[in-house]
Amino acid sequence: MAKKNGKGMYAATLGLFLLGVGYLMFVGLSENTMPFINVSEALAMPATDLKLARLFGTVREDGLSRMADKPGVTFLLEDKDDASKSLWVVYEGAVPDAFKPGAEVIVEGALEEAAKAFRAESLMTKCPSKYQKENRG
């Protein structure tokens, strides 16, 4: 009887493993990709490209209002680099404690063309400076 060589079996197993990992990476990256853009970029894009997006900017003081009948907020999201560019955001849900005018925020959601506003599904605030390590130079 001839002795079987196990190298072929190991090569086939490794090939299947690498194929599986490649497939999982492809599916994960293609289905869950969400552009991360600023307000200026969002305003320059066609509304069809903002069906699922992540925007960042600063909360403007004017236009900020809490919803009366449920948790949530409506506000103007201002571009960090160009204060003349802003976009209305409507968010229904628990508002973070650090949310206030001048706070840097990230919202995830979609642009509603009819309302000309960004409907956010999530609202995150940038950590306040009190949580950053002090410069002890």
Q: Is the pLDDT of residue 59 over 90?
A: yes
Cβ atoms 82, 40 nearer than 8 A: yes
Range picked from 31-45, 67-81, 117-131 for highest mean pLDDT:
67-81
List, as own/partner pairs, every contact residues 62-71 make where C-beta atoms lie below 8 angstroms and the sequence separation is at least 24, other chains included.
63/88, 64/101, 66/95, 67/92, 71/95
Confidence of residue 134 (pLDDT cuts 50, 70, 90): low
Confidence of residue 136 (pLDDT cuts 50, 70, 90): very low
Cβ atoms 91, 123 nearer than 8 A: yes
Distance (Å, rounded) from C-alpha 67 to C-alpha 78? 20
Cβ atoms 101, 64 nearer than 8 A: yes
Q: What is the mean pLDDT of the chain?
A: 82
117-125 and 36-38 beta bridge pairing: unpaired
Q: Which pLDDT does position 33 carry in this prediction?
A: 64
Distance (Å, rounded) from C-alpha 18 to C-alpha 26? 12
Query: What are the chain's domains?
Result: 1-33 (no CATH), 36-128 (2.40.50.140)
Q: Which pLDDT does position 23 carry in this prediction?
A: 79
What's the predicted TM-score (pTM) here? Answer: 0.68
Distance (Å, rounded) from C-alpha 39 to C-alpha 56? 7
